[in-house]
Every structure is written in C-alpha cells, then in structure tokens.
C-alpha cells in the first residue's frame, strides 16, 4: 500500500484556500497550461497573417480562392493549437504530454527559470502555427501561380464576351447583342471594376481561342460568357463567370422568365458578378443598375436595333413613338440626327430642328443620364464647335459612370483638339485599358506621344501590339513616325498604301499620297480620278495631321494641273471646287476655318487676288480662338501660303510660313513642307530652305 504522503499527480498541492468550483477549476487549469495565452496570441498573429495575405496575394498573381483557403486553414488551426497547448507541456527533457509531465516533473512548474521557458514555448506555439500555415500555403500557391498566365489591371478586371444567340429566329441576334451590351454597361457602372469595352470583345464572337489566351490578350483576370434564347414572350439567359488565370468557372446561372423581366435579369447578373468579385456597390450604383429604361418591350427592341452601328434613324424614331418616356432612345435619336445634319454640310435645317427636339426630350426625362450627356457633347462639338463645353458634358458623364468608354474616347479627342496633350494622353491611355483592341485609339495615342516628343513611347506602343495587331496601318505609322523624327522618307515610300486602305487605321483610300510624295503627279491624278467614291468633297488626309490634310479632291486636282502647267484643266477643277464650297451652308463654310482657307486657294487658282487678303484676315481671326488655335492655325497658314504661292507672291508665302513655324500645332511644319509638291517652287530660297531644316 502506498504511503499516505505519496504525491498524487492528478491533484494540486493544498494551498489552504477553499477549493474552486468545477468551472473555476477548468479556468485555473486553462491558465496553468497557458491555453488562454495561446488563444490570445494565436488570434492576434492570425489576424496579422490574414491582413498580409489580403494585401500581397494579388500582387504575386495568387488567385482569390487561395486567399480564402488560407483564411479557412488559419481558422481551423485555432482549435488545433488549443488542443496542443492543453495536451502537451515543455519539460527539462523536452515536450511531453501534460499527464506524463505531471508525474515525472511534479515540481517543474515551481521552477522560475523553467516556468519562463514554458511561457515562451506557449507563445511561440501560438505564433508559429498560423505563420507556418500561411508560409507553406503562400509558397505553394505562388509556385503554382507561376504556370498561370499573368494578366494586368488587378483582380477586378473583366471582359464580357459576346452572348450567343440561341433563339429559333436568327433575327433575334440583335436582342442577344443588346443583352450583351447592357450587361457590360451595368458592370461598367461599378467603380470597383475595370470593364473592357464591347468594341474589343466583339472580335471574339465565335472564337476558338482558349479563355486564358483571350484573358491575356484583353489584359483581364475574369471573363463572362453567356447565351440568350428568346421564344415568344419567354427569354432564357445563361451567364457564367470564369477565372481566366486558371480557366476555372467561378459562377454560373440560368434565368428563364417572361420577356418583361429582361432588365431585372441583366441587373441580377451584374450584381451576382460584383458579389463574386467582392466589388463594392454604392447605393447609387445599385439604383442605376436596377433602373428600367422602358416598360415597352417593343420600344426596347427598336432601341436595340437603332443602337447598332450603322442602324437607321427610323428605328429610334419608332422606339420613342412607342414610348415617349424612353430617355435613352431620345438621346440616341438626337445624337444620330445632329451627326447626320453635320455630315450633310448642315444644309438640311429640318434635321437640326428634329435633333434639338429629341435632345430637349432626353434632357427633360434624364438630364443626368450618361447617354444624354454624351449627346449634349455632340451638339457642343458639331453645332457650336465649343470643345470646352463638350469636355464639361463628358466629364459629368464620366463622374456618373467611370467605365463609360464612349465618353473617354470623345474626351481624349477633345483635349487633343485643344492642344491639351497631357490630358489627351491620359484619356487615350484609359481608352486603351477599356478598348485594348481599338486600333484607331492606338494610332491616336501614338500620335499624341509623337506630338509631345515622346518618340520612344510612341514606337514602344506600336511595337507592343501582337503579330495579329501589327497591321499594315501600324507599319505605316511606324514608317511615318520615323520620317517625322529622322527625315527618312524611304521607309514611308516603301509602305504598302494600297493594302492599308481598308483598315480601321485608314477609313479612306490613301494610295495617291505615295505618288504625291514621290512626285509622280500624273500617277496621282490617275489614282484620284479612279476613286469609286470620287465626289466633289472627298478628302485626302493623313494620320497624325500629316500629309495633304483637308484639301478637297477637285482642289488637289487643280493644284496638280497647275503644277503640270495645264491651265485649262486647273481652271476647270478650281471652278468645280469653288462652286462646291460656295454651295455649303453659310454656317458650315464659316465654321471650321479650313473651309475658308480652301476657298482662298480656289480663288488664287482662278487668278482672283482681291478676295485673298480679306479671307486671310477672316481665317486668322477664327484660328486665334481657343477652340481652333492648336488644331487649325498652322494648317490654315499653310493653305494661305499656298494661295499666295499660286498667285506668284513668293515673299508673302515665305513670310506666312515663317510665322507659322513659330506657332504651336499638331503638325511638323518642316516635314510637311518637304512632302508637299507645290512648295518645291520655293526650294533654293535660303529662307525656305531654313524652314526645312527647323
């Protein structure tokens, strides 16, 4: 039998104090075994670990689901640490179970130095477990992410691919396109998302490329795919969200409802996607996304048809006739009408009146809608040439919807026209983030870089395009920039001008330009006369405001015949150009000052000196105005110099060019003078030759 004084490992030595209750005993034991300390330290370290993971995983390309997994593992490690702290103790011989330690070292807890070791052991255990979980998993996911395509613009960049039309009636393709655009528009209203524009995603309709490749080309992390099936009064919309990094589906949903619920479906898709991407939604954004633009489905159908590129105005007119309260349709109609009025030389006053009526209706119904503000920008631009007011409307639109790429595109162009090149650059760069496949924006941004003297950046942009995007147009631009920078005309002449004629970079045929630069004047005349679209007001212009800009074809032909000394032909073409310019509406002729500088050249070719000086004064008064000074002044001075040159007044022509060389503008005057055949008449004059060297 054991002596009465044999130590009992399961019983604490008596202290003379009253014995604690059951819960009290448990609390005392938790404290004695440092379980409470472990819990507190673990919670603090775990919080720090989660914060570090949240801020660093995205930067290292680690997917969002991996962060959630780390959080889950850290949480699950908490009870594990408490169990370890309860079940094990540090003894002089090492770590043993608490029960064994109490038997072999009953007095160790009274040893002050060993007690400190046990204290630090418990703290180290609490800190080590979450840190170890984080370190191992972070290293694993980082190594794993090395094989995943890296994309730019962070975790919340997204592109909505064209929705497939699954309807029995193929004519419902417009409806599928409308759903696609509206889902994209809803997502673009969320400030926390970067949404690629429809222009750039349309090229992937029916594409066989894998999703990771599409994500890399668009520079986005996430893709949305979908389909639409419309039959009778029912519609089925399918949408799915894919992580392009790992080609993994994150979310998918089918919506089968009445056709009248299409706006609710589109809003739900946007909100579901925002939720999956943890994008913050403000109350204003929710209200905007859930807004129903019309209750009339037929009016909405006509609106979708009218919204498509090249659609007839009649669709928008039918839309507002069916629903006079449809603000977006009124705004679209106003925009189309004012564009048509301006394109048709402003001769149809009825279009202008209808445009104003439509705009007034749109402003009454939705003055703060981005679509209405975009239309107001077009009126300021086309009707009044008020680029400052145009910018005000566009900035308001972007304040409401930061992802509104039409506003970004217009804003970049307006700043460029005013010579505010740094701001233009900023917005063209934003356009390319939203529309990475928009070739015209590439050419315009490269031009802005060039005008700012950022030659390396311009070439870097053009050379950064993929092989598929390195079109003949971009090759020409590289050759053009090389000429402007270095004066090397050979690469410019070697460009395949015929091949670039149909590309987005070049909406008209530029093939006569090469003949003009090479001084093959007869060949240039033949090419101009062969234009299928040869009408009295066709233009030959150059990208980057370079090469024979804004000269009507009859006027250019007249100058060519003048250079070839064929008086009968130059007078015939000059009269044709003059009559057309005179037939323009008065406000159109006196709007853009280049029309009047063209008129000066036609007078000069006809030998009429008297109108020249008065027209020059009128043009110069106009080009000193802020809206025209940067964009038009140097161009118009060149036209004025041509007029004086045709009249034989070489001194006046050179004086005009010398003054122009000191003006700020979008063109490089020395290179421009070198390209123009008409200025060959001034070569050899030291004053002119000095201008070529500037």
Cβ atoms of residues 689 and 683 within 8 Å: yes
Q: What is the pLDDT of residue 666?
A: 87
- Mean pLDDT over residues 532-551, rounded? 45
Q: Is the pLDDT reported for residue 89 higher than 80?
A: no
Is the pLDDT at 63 greater than 50? The verdict is: yes
Mean pLDDT of 341-364: 91
Give yes or no for residue 514 having a pLDDT over 70.
yes
What the block records as the tokens of 106 is 């009953």
Q: In 3D, which of 34, 500, 431 has the Cα closest to residue 196?
A: 431
Tokens representing 18 are: 């009253």
Backbone angles phi, psi at 531, to 5 degrees: -55, 125
Question: In the 3-class helix/strand/coil scheme, how is 162-189 assigned residue by residue?
Answer: CCEECCCCHHHHHHHHHHHHHHHHHHHC
94 three-class SS: strand
Among 15-19, 297-301, 471-475, top mean pLDDT goes to: 297-301
pLDDT at residue 402, rounded to an integer: 86
- Average pLDDT rounded to a whole number, residues 57-62: 56
121-130, 147-156, 167-176, 503-512: the lowest-pLDDT one: 147-156
> For position 183, what pLDDT does the model report?
92
What is the pLDDT, as a whole number, of residue 101?
47
The yes-or-no verdict on residue 502 having pLDDT over 60 is no
Confidence at residue 360, expressed as pLDDT on a 0 to 100 scale: 97
- Please say whether the beta carbons of 630 and 666 come within 8 A: yes
Lowest mean pLDDT among 27-41, 297-311, 605-619: 27-41
CA distance 692 to 682: 11
- pLDDT the model gives residue 17: 47
Which pLDDT does position 457 carry in this prediction?
Answer: 92
Residue 585: exposure state from Cβ atoms within 10 A (0-12, 13-18, ≥19): middle
The model's confidence at residue 559, banded by pLDDT at 50, 70 and 90, is very high
Q: Taking residues 10-24, report their average pLDDT.
A: 49
Least confident of 29-33, 255-259, 634-638, 679-683: 29-33
Work out the average pLDDT over 429-446.
86
The pLDDT score that the predictor gives to residue 147 is 40
Q: How far apart are CA 403 and CA 397, in angstroms?
A: 10
Inform me whether the pLDDT recorded for 463 exceeds 50. Answer: yes
* Residue pair 605/562 in contact by the 8 Å Cβ criterion: yes
Q: For the chain, give the percent of residues with pLDDT over 90.
A: 38
pLDDT digits (tens, 9 = 90+) for 234-248: 999 999 999 988 878
Q: Which structure tokens are listed for 515?
A: 């003949």
Residue 566's contacts (CB-CB under 8 Å, 6 or more residues apart) are none
User: In the chain, which residues fall in CATH 3.40.50.10610?
Assistant: 157-290
CA-CA distances (angstroms) from residue 638 to 182, 601, 633, 641?
Answer: 47, 11, 9, 5
Identify which of 138, 149, 307, 142 has the alpha carbon closest to the alpha carbon of residue 223: 149
Chain-centre distance for alpha carbon 401: 13
pLDDT at 30: 56
Q: Are 449 and 457 in contact (CB under 8 A)?
A: yes
Q: Looking at the chain, which residues constitute the CATH 1.25.40.10 domain(s)?
A: 309-461
Confidence class of residue 150 from pLDDT cuts 50, 70 and 90? very low
Determine the Cα–Cα distance for residues 399 and 392; give it in Å rounded to an integer.
11
Asked if 319 and 358 count as a contact pair (C-beta separation under 8 A), the reply is: no
Residue of 564 and 278 predicted with greater confidence: 564
Superfamily of segment(s) 309-461: Tetratricopeptide repeat domain (1.25.40.10)
| Cα-based torsion angle of the residue sequence 271, 276, 277, 278 in order, rounded to the nearest 10 degrees | 80
Asked if pLDDT for residue 294 goes beyond 90, the answer is yes
Q: What is the H or E stretch that residue 90 is in?
A: strand 88-91
CA separation for the pair 683, 689 (Å, rounded): 6
pLDDT of residue 468: 46
**Across residues 416-426, what is the average pLDDT?**
94
Phi–psi pair at 224, nearest 5 degrees: -115, 130
If one compares 70 and 60, the residue with the highest pLDDT of the two is: 70
Mean pLDDT of 174-182: 89
Q: Where are the alpha helices (DSSP H) in 471-606?
A: 472-486, 490-494, 497-500, 511-517, 521-529, 553-563, 567-583, 586-589, 593-605
pLDDT at 599: 93
Query: What pLDDT is attached to residue 570?
Result: 94
Give Rg (Cα) of the chain: 36
Indicate the pLDDT class of residue 510, thresholds 50, 70 and 90. Answer: low
pLDDT higher for 161 or 95? Answer: 161
Question: Which one has a higher pLDDT value, 15 or 333?
Answer: 333
Q: Residue 524: which residues within 8 A CB-CB, separation 6 or more? A: 512, 515, 516, 560
Under CATH, what is the fold of the domain 508-693? 1.25.40
For the residues 401-416, what does the mean pLDDT come to?
92
Domain 157-290, architecture per CATH: 3-Layer(aba) Sandwich (3.40)
Cα separation, 50 vs 38, in Å, equals 18
Strand partners, 239: 226, 253
pLDDT band at 327 (very low <50, low <70, confident <90, very high): very high
Number of neighbouring beta carbons within 10 Å of residue 490: 9
| Residue 577 confidence (pLDDT) | 87
Q: pLDDT at position 141, please?
A: 59
Predicted pLDDT of residue 346: 84
pLDDT at 623: 95
Q: What is the mean pLDDT of residues 469-495?
A: 76
**Which one has a higher pLDDT value, 501 or 452?**
452
pLDDT for 581-602, tens place per residue? 888 777 777 788 988 999 999 9
On the CB side of 100, CA atoms within 13 Å amount to 11
For residue 88, the model assigns a pLDDT of 55
- If one compares 546 and 599, the residue with the highest pLDDT of the two is 599
Alpha-carbon distance of 116 to 34, in angstroms, equals: 12
Closest among 149, 277, 146, 142 to 216, alpha carbons compared: 149
The answer to whether the beta carbons of residues 363 and 383 sit under 8 Å apart is no
Tokens of 85: 């702290």
Q: Look at residue 442 in the predicted model and tell me its pLDDT.
A: 86
Q: CB–CB of 331/311 below 8 Å? A: no
> Comparing C-alpha atoms, which of 588, 599, 533 is closest to residue 348?
588
């Amino acid at each position: 039998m054991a002596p009465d004084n044999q130590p009992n490992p399961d019983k604490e030595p008596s202290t003379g104090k009253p014995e604690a209750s059951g819960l009290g005993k448990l609390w005392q034991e938790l404290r004695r075994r440092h379980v409470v300390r472990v819990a507190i330290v673990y919670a603090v370290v775990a919080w720090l670990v989660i914060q570090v993971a949240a801020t660093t995983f995205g930067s290292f390309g680690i997917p969002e689901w991996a962060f959630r997994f780390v959080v889950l593992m850290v949480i699950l490690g908490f009870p594990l640490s408490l169990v370890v702290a309860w079940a094990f103790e540090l003894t002089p011989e090492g770590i043993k179970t608490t029960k064994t330690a109490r038997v072999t070292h009953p007095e160790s807890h009274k040893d002050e130095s060993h007690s400190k070791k046990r204290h630090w052991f418990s703290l180290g255990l609490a800190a080590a477990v979450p840190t170890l979980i984080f370190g191992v998993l972070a290293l694993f996911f980082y190594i794993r992410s090395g094989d995943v395509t890296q994309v730019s613009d962070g975790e919340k960049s997204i592109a909505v691919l064209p929705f497939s039309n699954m309807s029995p009636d193929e004519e419902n393709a417009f409806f599928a396109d409308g759903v696609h655009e509206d889902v994209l528009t809803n997502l673009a209203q969320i400030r926390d998302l970067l949404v690629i524009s429809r222009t750039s995603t349309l090229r992937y309709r029916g594409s066989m490329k894998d999703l990771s490749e599409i994500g890399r080309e668009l520079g986005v992390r996430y893709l949305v795919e979908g389909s639409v099936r419309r039959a009778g009064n029912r519609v089925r919309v399918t949408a799915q969200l894919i992580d392009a990094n790992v080609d993994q589906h994150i979310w998918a949903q089918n919506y089968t409802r009445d056709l009248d619920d299409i706006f609710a479906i589109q809003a739900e898709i946007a909100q579901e996607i925002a939720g999956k991407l943890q994008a913050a939604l403000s109350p204003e954004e929710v209200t905007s996304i859930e807004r129903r633009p019309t209750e009339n489905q037929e009016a909405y159908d006509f609106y979708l048809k009218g919204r498509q590129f090249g659609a007839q105005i009649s669709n928008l007119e039918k839309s507002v006739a069916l629903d006079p309260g449809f603000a977006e349709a009124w705004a679209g109609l106003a925009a189309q009408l004012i564009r048509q009025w301006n394109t048709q030389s402003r001769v149809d006053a009825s279009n202008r009146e209808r445009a104003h009526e439509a705009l007034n209706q749109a402003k009454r119904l939705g003055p703060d809608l981005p679509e209405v503000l975009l239309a107001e920008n077009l009126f300021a631009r086309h009707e009044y040439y008020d680029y400052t007011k145009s910018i005000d409307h566009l900035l308001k639109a972007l304040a409401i919807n930061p992802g509104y790429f039409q506003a970004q595109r217009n804003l970049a162009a307006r700043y460029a026209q005013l010579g505010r090149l740094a701001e233009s650059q900023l917005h063209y760069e934003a356009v390319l983030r939203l529309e990475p496949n928009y070739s015209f924006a590439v050419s315009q941004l490269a031009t802005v870089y060039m005008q700012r003297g950022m030659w390396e950046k311009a070439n870097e942009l053009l050379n950064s395009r993929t092989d598929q995007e390195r079109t003949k147009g971009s090759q020409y631009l590289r050759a053009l920039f090389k000429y402007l920078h270095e004066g090397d005309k050979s690469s410019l002449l070697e460009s395949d001008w015929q091949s670039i004629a149909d590309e987005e970079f070049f909406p008209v045929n530029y093939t006569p330009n090469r003949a003009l630069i090479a001084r093959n004047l007869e060949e240039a005349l033949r090419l101009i006369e062969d234009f299928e679209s040869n009408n009295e007001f066709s233009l030959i212009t150059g990208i980057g405001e370079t090469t024979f800009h804004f000269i009507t074809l009859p006027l250019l032909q007249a100058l060519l015949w003048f250079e070839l000394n064929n008086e009968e032909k130059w007078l015939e073409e000059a009269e044709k150009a003059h009559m057309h310019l005179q037939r323009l509406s008065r406000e159109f002729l006196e709007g853009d000052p280049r029309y009047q500088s063209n008129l000066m050249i036609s007078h000069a070719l006809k030998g009429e000196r008297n109108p020249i000086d008065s027209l020059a004064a009128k043009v110069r008064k106009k080009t000193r105005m802020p809206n025209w000074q940067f964009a038009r002044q140097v161009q118009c001075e060149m036209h004025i110099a041509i007029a004086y040159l045709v009249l034989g007044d070489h001194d006046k022509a050179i004086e005009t060019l010398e003054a122009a060389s000191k003006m700020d503008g979008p063109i490089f005057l020395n290179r421009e003078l070198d390209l123009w055949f008409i200025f060959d008449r001034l070569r050899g004059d030291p004053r002119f030759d000095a201008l070529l060297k500037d």
